[in-house]
């Protein structure tokens, strides 16, 4: 039952992210880019910079690592398991997004000296895979943030919902700063949710890594104890 609920929520919101990504490609990317360049929400630039800086994965990882160390010290197996899932999901989502970047070669919105488009690994007989200007799709900020908070949402609905709002704010900041298109952050969110569900299912729902994290004592959203496996 717990596996099914987690899968249902993941499929539902992943489908929403997929629709948003498609809408970005077909309709929203260019108008949003023009609106940001025209100064829409410019009063929120400092907030966007703050979210973009401190919502990057090294800061999420540091916070998660501190919380995990504390939970291990206190021997709270449920939180140790959940925090491990959050950290691993963020890492996996971030790595996956960077692998896709290497092949996509999409130009970032803020770049003006290169025509916007998809160039793949090379441009004008030069490798551009590792150049920042060609790493727009997908957003690693969004992938890491949604990957990090998705296991929390699947296990602790209200607390996780607050985390997802923060992830969405981080994704917004990347668009507001002209670092990514709408479709880029939607794709990052999609990767994050998928990675988050896979890791949550393995570690939290099914009790993976019990040798290091202790027995499974995570409770479902209804308050019923999950079975030990």
40, two tokens: 């829409």
Rg over alpha carbons for the chain, rounded to the nearest Å, is 19
Q: Name the pTM for this structure.
A: 0.91
pLDDT in tens, the chain (229 residues): 677 888 999 999 999 999 999 999 999 999 999 999 999 999 999 999 999 999 999 999 999 999 999 999 998 989 999 999 999 999 999 999 999 999 999 999 999 888 999 999 998 888 988 899 999 999 999 999 999 999 999 999 999 999 999 999 999 999 999 999 999 999 999 999 999 999 999 999 988 887 777 665 434 333 444 443 3
pLDDT for position 226: 43
Domain total in the chain = 1
Q: Please check whether residue 42 lies inside any domain of the structure.
A: no
Whether omega before 138 lies within 30 degrees of 0, making that bond cis, reads yes
> 67 is in which domain, residue-wise?
2-37+54-213
Q: Please check whether residue 219 lies inside any domain of the structure.
A: no
Q: Please check whether residue 109 lies inside any domain of the structure.
A: yes
Q: H/E element holding 3?
A: helix 2-23
Instruction: With CA atoms as reference, report the closest residue to 148 among 111, 186, 199.
Output: 199
Q: Please check whether residue 198 lies inside any domain of the structure.
A: yes
Q: Please check whether residue 220 lies inside any domain of the structure.
A: no
Could you give the CA distance from residue 64 to residue 148 in angstroms, rounded to a whole number? 9
Q: Please check whether residue 222 lies inside any domain of the structure.
A: no
């Amino acid at each position: 039952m717990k596996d099914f609920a987690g899968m249902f929520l993941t499929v539902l919101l992943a489908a929403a992210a997929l629709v948003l990504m498609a809408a970005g490609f077909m309709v929203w990317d260019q108008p949003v880019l023009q609106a940001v360049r025209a100064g829409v929400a410019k009063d929120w630039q400092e907030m966007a910079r703050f979210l973009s800086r401190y919502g990057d994965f090294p800061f999420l990882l540091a916070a998660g690592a501190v919380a995990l160390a504390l939970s291990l010290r206190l021997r709270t197996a449920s939180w140790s398991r959940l925090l491990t899932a959050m950290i691993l999901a963020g890492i996996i989502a971030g790595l996956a997004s960077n692998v896709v970047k290497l092949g996509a070669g999409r130009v970032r919105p803020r770049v003006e000296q290169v025509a916007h488009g998809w160039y793949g690994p090379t441009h004008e007989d030069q490798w551009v895979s590792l150049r920042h200007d060609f790493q727009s799709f997908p957003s690693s900020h969004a992938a890491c943030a949604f990957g990090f908070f998705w296991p929390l949402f699947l296990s602790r609905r209200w607390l996780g919902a607050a985390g997802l709002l923060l992830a969405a704010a981080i994704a917004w900041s990347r668009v507001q700063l002209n670092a990514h298109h709408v479709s880029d952050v939607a794709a990052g969110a999609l990767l994050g949710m998928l990675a988050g569900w896979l890791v949550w299912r393995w570690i939290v729902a099914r009790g993976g890594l019990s040798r290091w994290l202790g027995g499974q004592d995570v409770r479902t959203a209804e308050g019923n104890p999950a079975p030990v496996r």
